[in-house]
């Protein structure tokens, strides 16, 4: 902190240093570019990032509450987005998620209608165009929606948080996006606002953590494998929560939880100890009504950092993981007016995670491009073969479960190949090491992954290239 007694010259130096820091998250030179704002509909309340047209680039979809539309924005691979394509059919969209609900290999959309106690299913035709919605009844004032295979039958089910009813609905997918007419409702919540999935008892069934806007405890529910849930020990946050995110911030193999409490301006980090037990909440100060929080690796050290949407200050705070069980002080970046939702994905295909915010008060989304992998110099030219960097198509493709990655290097360098699913989530790193100049064939076993479309990206110095592959089991 700067004390009033500091001399003017010292104060000036500190202010200059601070202004330099605002443009970057770290002293190492990585950070985020100034925001890019894109107009969508009125009162955007939620946002997702996923490859909606199957071209290998991460697109965006936005739920616009006041205009009653869903905006889909297609990416050209360099974070340049076409004009929004708008879909109607939901009176007051409050939340949105993407999943392959009909098992046809592309991502469909599920959107909650806050005014009509229902969720609309928009089926993808494979090109990124969506059919008119199919409506499913849920509860009153749904505030969140999520998709997951809750009974391990291979079909993605839907969950919706019914804030006014103080419960959540589970819609069982029978296959092909045909849902059971029975809506399972579960209590034990008070003003549910957000879901997070984890498997705290290691039975390979997804358990649920729920943020409660009307209570100081998280709701933690163990999946009993029969479309039912048993209450577990509820972590005490100490105040109402409006968002929750599950991640493994210390990489010990046990899921941790982070919540946002806007009324008290803090985040609560609960370290998982296994078996559904969590340490007492560590508090982190946020800026101006923190409403949404996510955990992703933003600085390339393989440990998840935090990003927070601050409603009242119109900023995104980034907190670096210090690798010692704590997070650094927040560094703020400008967003739009009243940001209420966040997601992260590699929008420009440069190997790092960018941040996207939905700005409820300005009818826009803000894109913050990550500068961590911005190239600083071109690779040195060599006359030996291969004469340039290159990433070949994996073979065989489709594959089950073994495949081989092919790449060529004109010089000695560090090489990393990362694998992502259709939602842009990092699922594997098959290659990570230093290699001499030459051509390589690197086998990989994908036994632990499920069938689907995946994308793999090679990073070698300033070179990056991505390709698509299909795992069929």
Mean pLDDT of all residues in 101-115: 97
What's the CA gap between 341 and 150, in Å, rounded? 25
User: 165 and 264: one domain?
Assistant: yes
Predicted confidence (pLDDT) per residue in 381-403, tens digit:
333 457 678 888 888 989 999 99
Residue 48's CATH number: 2.130.10.10
Number of folded domains that form the chain: 2
CA terminus-to-terminus distance, the chain: 57
Check whether residue 356 and residue 258 sit in a common domain. yes
How distant is the alpha carbon of residue 357 from its chain centre?
Answer: 11
Q: Are residues 219 and 288 in the same domain?
A: yes
Is residue 106 in a domain?
A: yes
- Does 401 sit behind a cis peptide bond, omega within 30 degrees of 0 on the bond before it? yes
pLDDT tens digits along 183-210: 788 888 899 999 999 998 889 999 999 9
Mean pLDDT of all residues in 155-159: 97
* Last-in-domain residue among 338, 368, 398: 368
**Domain coverage including residue 463:** 390-471
176 Cβ contact list (under 8 Å, min separation 6): 102, 103
Judgement on whether residues 434 and 349 belong to the same structural domain of the protein: no
Please check whether residues 429 and 336 belong to one and the same domain.
no
Residues 312 and 421 in one domain: no
Whether 14 has a pLDDT exceeding 50, the answer reads no
Residues 362 and 394 in one domain: no
The pLDDT tens digits for 42-80 are 999 999 999 999 998 999 999 999 999 999 999 998 899
* 15 within domain boundaries: no
pLDDT tens figures, 144-153: 999 999 999 9
For residue 152, what is the DSSP state?
S
Q: Is the model's pLDDT at 412 over the cut of 90? A: no
What the block records as the tokens of 433 is 């090491």
Rounded to an integer, what distance in angstroms lies between the CA atom of residue 117 and that of residue 323?
A: 43
**Among 214, 99, 108, 199, which residue's Cα sits nearest to residue 161?**
214
Is it the case that residue 26 has pLDDT exceeding 50?
no
Residues 326 and 445 in one domain: no
Residues 291 and 332 in one domain: yes
**Same domain membership, residue 416 and residue 336:** no
321 and 232 inside one domain: yes
Q: Is the pLDDT of residue 27 over 90?
A: no
Beta bridge partners of 186: 168
Same domain membership, residue 353 and residue 319: yes
For residue 6 the two structure tokens come to 């500091």
- pLDDT at residue 302 in the model: 86
**Dist CA 66 CA 40 (whole Å):** 11
CATH code at position 436: 2.60.40.1930
Percent of the chain exceeding pLDDT 70 equals 90
pLDDT bracket for residue 367 (50, 70, 90): very high
Q: Which residues pair with 109 in a beta bridge?
A: 98, 122
Is the pTM for the entire model greater than 0.85?
A: no
């Amino acid at each position: 902190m700067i004390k009033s007694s500091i001399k003017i010259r010292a104060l000036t130096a500190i202010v200059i240093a601070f202004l330099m820091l605002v443009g970057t998250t770290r002293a190492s030179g990585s950070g985020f570019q100034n925001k890019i704002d894109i107009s969508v509909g009125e009162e955007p309340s939620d946002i997702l990032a996923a490859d909606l047209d199957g071209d290998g680039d991460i697109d965006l979809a936005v739920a616009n509450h006041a205009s009653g539309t869903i905006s889909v924005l297609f990416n050209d691979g360099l974070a340049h987005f076409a004009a929004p394509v708008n879909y109607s059919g939901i009176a007051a969209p409050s939340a949105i998620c993407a999943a392959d609900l009909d098992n046809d290999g592309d991502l469909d959309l599920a959107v909650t209608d806050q005014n009509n106690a229902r969720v609309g299913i928009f089926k993808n035709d494979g090109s990124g165009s969506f059919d008119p919605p199919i409506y499913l009844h849920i509860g009153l004032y749904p505030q969140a929606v999520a998709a997951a295979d809750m009974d391990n039958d291979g079909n993605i089910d839907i969950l919706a948080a019914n804030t006014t009813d103080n419960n959540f609905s589970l819609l069982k997918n029978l296959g092909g996006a045909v849902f059971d007419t029975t809506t399972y409702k579960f209590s034990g919540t008070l003003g549910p606002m957000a879901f997070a999935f984890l498997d705290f008892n290691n039975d390979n069934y997804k358990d649920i953590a729920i943020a409660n806007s009307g209570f100081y405890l998280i709701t933690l529910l163990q999946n009993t494998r029969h479309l039912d849930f048993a209450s577990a020990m509820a972590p005490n946050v100490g105040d109402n929560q409006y968002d929750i995110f599950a991640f493994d911030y210390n990489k010990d193999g046990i899921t941790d939880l982070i919540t946002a409490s806007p009324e008290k301006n803090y985040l609560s980090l609960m370290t998982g100890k296994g078996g559904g037990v969590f340490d007492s909440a560590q508090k982190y100060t946020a800026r101006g009504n923190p409403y949404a929080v996510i955990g992703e690796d933003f600085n390339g050290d393989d440990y998840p950092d935090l990003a927070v949407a601050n409603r009242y200050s119109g900023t995104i705070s980034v907190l670096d993981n210090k690798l010692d069980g704590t997070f650094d002080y927040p560094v703020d970046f400008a967003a739009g007016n009243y940001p209420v939702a966040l997601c992260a994905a590699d929008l420009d295909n440069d190997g790092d995670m960018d941040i996207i915010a939905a700005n409820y008060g300005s009818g826009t989304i803000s894109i913050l491009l990550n500068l961590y992998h911005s190239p600083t110099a071109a690779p040195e030219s060599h006359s030996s073969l291969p004469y340039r960097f290159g990433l070949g198509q994996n073979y065989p493709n489709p594959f089950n479960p073994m495949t081989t990655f092919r790449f060529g290097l004109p010089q000695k360098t560090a090489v990393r190949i990362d694998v992502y699913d259709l939602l842009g989530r990092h699922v594997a790193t098959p290659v990570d090491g230093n290699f001499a100049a030459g051509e390589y064939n690197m086998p990989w076993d994908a036994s632990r992954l499920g069938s689907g479309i995946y994308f793999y990206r090679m990073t070698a110095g300033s070179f990056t290239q991505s390709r698509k592959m299909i795992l069929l089991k």
